[in-house]
Amino acid sequence: MFEWLKEIVHEKKPATPKKGAPVPDSHIKVDSRCYPLVNLNAKGFMAGDFDASLAVGQNAAITVVVNDRWGKFSFNARCSITAADPKGRFGGSFAILPPDVEQALIKYAKNKGGK
């Protein structure tokens, strides 16, 4: 009776790692899903393993966790999703950040760029 529904509804694969799988050290967390951090600066971010659960233009509350050789910090922010590509990456631009977070991101980007 509902055979037509199977063609319309598509299951989304979860972006959250399977139970027992490690969460990436540096990641973006959106609605309890973790996406590995690809790039980060004071203007915004790029993350991977995107599952199309967010749309370009959508606003989101996120948690950014950085834990690598260039920095160890985390913060909560509001962002606007600005890009999503078929390769599984998406990006966002931050809304207003507190000055201390903005300075930490500037320092982080400078340290990472200098390798």
Tell me the per-residue pLDDT of 38-91, one tens digit each, with 9 for 90 and over.
Answer: 999 999 999 998 888 888 999 999 999 999 988 899 999 999 999 988 778 999
Query: What torsion, rounded to 10 degrees, do the Cα atoms 31, 33, 47, 21 define?
Result: 160
| Residues spanned by the domain of 45 | 25-114
Which CATH number is 38's domain given?
A: 2.40.10.220
Number of domains in the chain: 1
Q: Is residue 5 pLDDT above 50, yes or no?
A: no
- Per-residue model confidence (pLDDT) at position 24: 65
CA angle, 38 then 39 then 44, to 5°: 130
* 14 Cβ neighbours under 8 A, 6+ residues apart: 33, 51
In a domain, 41, yes or no: yes
Beta bridge partners of 74: 65
Task: Assign 8 a pLDDT band (cuts: 50, 70, 90).
Answer: very low
Note the pLDDT of residue 88. Answer: 87
Regarding pTM above 0.85, the answer is: no
- Integer Cα distance of 115 and 112 in angstroms: 5
Residue 1 located in a structural domain: no
**CB within 8 A of 114, min separation 6: which ones?**
none
86/73 Cα distance (integer angstroms): 29
